[in-house]
Structure 1
Amino acid sequence: MPEVKNPIITYTGISQKIVYDDADSTILDCSIANQIPHLHECGGNGRCSTCRIRILEGHSNLSPRTLKEQQMAEFRRWDPSIRLACQCYVKGDVDIQRLVWTSSEINKLQLETIPEGEAEERAIAILFCDIRNFTKMAIENNTFDIAHVLNRFYTIIGDPILFNNGVIYQYIGDEIVGLFGISGGTREKNCRDAARAALGMYYAIEHLNHMELVDFDLRIKTGIGINFGKAFIGHLGHPKHKQLAVVGDPINTASRIQAYNKEVDGRILISEAIFKSLPEGTFEIGREFTTQFAGHEHNSKLYELKGFQETDMQLELQRSLEYLFTNKDEFAEKFYTRVFEKAPGVRALFKKNMQDQGRLLTHMLGGIVYSLSRPEHLETGLAFLGKSHARYGVTKDHYPVVLSSMMETIQEQLGDECSPKLIEAWEKALLYITNEMKKYTN
């Protein structure tokens, strides 16, 4: 009889081929088993769409869409070539493309929930961030330097928006606008996410000034304004050129709050609507202001946001990632060296390329930090990881070694940036993560 060949899955973009040799495994299972980073925020349960793939060749060689997948495809208006990797089983050779490469791209998926044509009213938090004295900076520096600075600026202040389940709405010259809650969420959560993003921006700008802009003899100063309210959101415009539009007084007011920073020489100002959306004692507040904006018949009370009164775990984790992952391969190598020194028998569990394993580690860790702003998927995601590790031979006895090795590596990588708040945040987060994963091991 002729030899029966196992199907081949080809991953375009990374030019990697893997043999599909387990009929009970989904494409997502195969990715993880072969150390290919593949986002799966809900843990491969068909509840999110982060593991989505595009089928380039071999569409007929896949199992039909499950009910979960059909519902997702209809809601998000997918064409037949887009599938959920966690719901696909392979019957023959397929060529696929992962469509969500990084955790930061997850937030953009919220845009699929925005209606076409007539806008819907949604309660959202709106953040405006502006570079101060940009015109003077542009005149005094050459075009290439300014372009470089702007690109770095947009990257480091855009990340806190994406970290906190926000969407970058638009860039307006030297200004960036973020929206929080366009696909739902409670008022308290959306306002906390926006405030955390603003504080993350502040810390990122300070880091940029002290580390990268010294050689340019530049110092960036920003003004941030945050407001909350009901605005109309939709894809509007010419039938052949529709784009996301947000209309309403709350967004205009957020812009005016940001501009008011110039008058009071402030950094982050929040509206009374933001301030009252969280329990009393949440925010560390500085000065308070009362003003009347153009077009308003009422006075607006504004608060200078200095921080959170209690340690905000997510903020501390987010602001430390850039330091930790400056060199991801180095971070992973230090971690696994510690693990193997403490538990030499664990080395036998890693039979494949350790460099690929290290990249999978940092991909997973970064993904978990991003997922903290979407807790509805975090528990199932950690369950998936716990079950996967159990299949590889990880036991409950291994987790204390993992925990201590990870904390030691984090403290070494952070160096002078290490603070009691950061240590407290990472210890709390890692304890929660490992306790959740341990539930699925022997």
Structure 2
Amino acid sequence: MSESTHPVITYTGINQEVICEDPDATLLEVSISNQIPHLHECGGNGQCTTCRVRVIDGHSNLSPRTMKEHETARLRKWDPSIRLACQCYPKGDVSIQRLVWTSSEVNKLQLEMLPDGDAEERAIAILFCDIRNFTKMAVSNNAFDVAHILNRFYTVIGDPILFNNGVIYQYVGDEIIGLFGVSGGLKEKNCTDAVRAALGMYYAIERLNHLELVDFDIRIQMGIGINFGKAFIGHLGHPKHKQFAVIGDPVNTASRIQNYNKVAGTHLLVSESIFKAVPEGTFDIGQEFQPQLAGHEHETKIYEIKGFKNPDIKLALQSSMDYLLRNEDEFASQFYERVFEKSPETRSLFKKNMKDQGRLLTHMLGGIIYSMSRPENLDLGLKFLGESHSKYGVTQAHYPIVMESLMETIEDQLGEFSSPELLNAWRETLTMVTDQMRHYSH
């Protein structure tokens, strides 16, 4: 125990120590009150595992596992050092390590629930994306430039998969494979998520071509194929080196659909199983094809997808995140300047480091957009935010100021990429978010 009468929590990785002055605060609440970004998608209700930590020292200074935590640890085969920060209370000094640092890492947690050894049949959506003319690009540029281009490519097209609750399965040379529905869920949602991810990839590639690859005299093009069906999923391989694997004809079919773009002169094709999984009129459909794909004795009906029939708010928000948070400190600084200008008295609510507060803001904003693909957690997360902001002195009168300041900052950061449709999507979403938070702040 430290000389202080209060427990000291040490965060390894960021080498930061904070004092837990509230004896009734969980580890998660200690993080939030001290402006340390700590994921908690379900709002600290023990219904997700994003707030997990590894206890480096001071295990005995934490309250025992709750029944909810015991069950989670059993299902996910955790060792005793892993705890849910929302379920444990510090009684003395503790040293911990946050295990899920970013929202993009949340998707990987789905893999913990996969069978170990014997594969299990599950219905999933499979997305194959391929870079066109990769060989020519590799020959025309030096190895360092090619590696840089590939890293940027994988980052910008990987993000839409993660935004839509997908799992990045593999990078194979110039190809990336995404899976949707690994942990279950409704067929309609998983198929819609997969198509939204594909469309998000095209927005991302257009941005990459426009902003970053001009100097390389390169324009990346892609082909994407998506299929839905039952595949075998599990951790397979040597007992001492098992890997996540997906096996089955639906996977091969998705790859062949992707390849058929070259024949059809299209960019995004989906199988009939994807098309029929969503309500009629969801997608803007282009051409229809019925080829006999390699390895099949029958014809396969496939559809060209040009976009959503009606504006999709999630796609709009996801596609703008890279613009908004390219410089997180600048975004936060502009936002708080506007808040303090409109409401000078709010400065008194921020007694600690404003740079840390700004990072907490952008962490929260990004987390909300990621959580929109997991609506079962979003409401609980907003409840936690509303209650905690009320505790810190935020009143009902502050919310319109926050809303206006956020919208002004978003429009400013988007710059030339701003549009009435995109701003409307942000306004609609932030109205929902602030209304929920206000409801829970009473």
Q: CA RMSD in A?
A: 1.1
Query: In structure 1, how many angstroms separate the alpha carbons of the residues matched to 2:145 and 2:307?
Result: 32
Query: In structure 2, how many angstroms separate the alpha carbons of the residues matched to 1:295 and 1:356?
Result: 56
Q: 1:381 to 1:116 in 2, by over 3 A?
A: same
Query: In structure 2, how many angstroms separate the alpha carbons of the residues matched to 1:3 and 1:87?
Result: 26
> CA deviation digits over 1:58-115, x for unaligned, max 9?
1111110001111110111100000000011111111100000000000000010110
- Per the TM alignment, residue 295 of structure 1 is displaced from its structure 2 partner at its CA by 2.6
TM superposition score normalised by structure 1: 0.98
Query: In structure 1, how many angstroms separate the alpha carbons of the residues matched to 2:195 and 2:212?
Result: 25
- Per the TM alignment, residue 4 of structure 1 is displaced from its structure 2 partner at its CA by 6.0
Q: Does 1:293 align with 2:293?
A: yes
SS of corresponding position for 1:276: helix
Equivalent residue, structure 2, for 1:75: 75
Equivalent residue, structure 2, for 1:399: 399
Output the amino acid matched with 1:164: N
Query: In structure 2, how many angstroms separate the alpha carbons of the residues matched to 1:262 and 1:250?
Result: 20
Q: 1:265 to 1:87 in 2, by over 3 A?
A: same
Equivalent residue, structure 2, for 1:271: 271
Q: Does 1:436 align with 2:436?
A: yes
Equivalent residue, structure 2, for 1:313: 313
Output the amino acid matched with 1:301: K
> CA deviation digits over 1:400-436, x for unaligned, max 9?
1111111111111111101122112101110100000
Q: How does 1:202-221 map to 2 (within 5 A)?
A: 202-221=202-221
Q: Where does the alignment leave 5 or more consecutive residues of structure 1 unmatched?
A: none
Query: In structure 1, how many angstroms separate the alpha carbons of the residues matched to 2:441 and 2:155?
Result: 39
SS of corresponding position for 1:223: strand
Output the amino acid matched with 1:384: F
Query: In structure 1, how many angstroms separate the alpha carbons of the residues matched to 2:217 and 2:419?
Result: 28
- Per the TM alignment, residue 3 of structure 1 is displaced from its structure 2 partner at its CA by 7.2
Query: In structure 1, how many angstroms separate the alpha carbons of the residues matched to 2:140 and 2:345?
Result: 61
SS of corresponding position for 1:330: helix
Q: How does 1:163-242 map to 2 (within 5 A)?
A: 163-242=163-242
SS of corresponding position for 2:193: helix
> CA deviation digits over 1:11-58, x for unaligned, max 9?
001110001121100000000000000000000000000000000011
Query: In structure 2, how many angstroms separate the alpha carbons of the residues matched to 1:95 and 1:265?
Result: 57
SS of corresponding position for 1:358: helix
Q: How does 1:21-420 map to 2 (within 5 A)?
A: 21-420=21-420
Output the amino acid matched with 1:38: H
Query: In structure 1, how many angstroms separate the alpha carbons of the residues matched to 2:29 and 2:236?
Result: 39
- Per the TM alignment, residue 133 of structure 1 is displaced from its structure 2 partner at its CA by 1.1
Query: In structure 1, how many angstroms separate the alpha carbons of the residues matched to 2:197 and 2:313?
Result: 13
- Per the TM alignment, residue 298 of structure 1 is displaced from its structure 2 partner at its CA by 2.1
Query: In structure 2, how many angstroms separate the alpha carbons of the residues matched to 1:195 and 1:84?
Result: 33
SS of corresponding position for 1:74: helix
Q: Where does the alignment leave 5 or more consecutive residues of structure 2 unmatched?
A: none
Query: In structure 2, how many angstroms separate the alpha carbons of the residues matched to 1:440 and 1:235?
Result: 42
Output the amino acid matched with 1:413: Q
- Per the TM alignment, residue 5 of structure 1 is displaced from its structure 2 partner at its CA by 2.5
Output the amino acid matched with 1:158: G
Output the amino acid matched with 1:115: P
Q: Alignment length, in residue pairs?
A: 441
Query: In structure 2, how many angstroms separate the alpha carbons of the residues matched to 1:163 and 1:6?
Result: 39
> CA deviation digits over 1:342-375, x for unaligned, max 9?
1122111111111111110000000000000000
- Per the TM alignment, residue 396 of structure 1 is displaced from its structure 2 partner at its CA by 1.1
Q: 1:285 to 1:5 in 2, by over 3 A?
A: same
Output the amino acid matched with 1:169: Y
Q: 1:333 to 1:91 in 2, by over 3 A?
A: same
Identity %: 70
Query: In structure 2, how many angstroms separate the alpha carbons of the residues matched to 1:355 and 1:4?
Result: 27
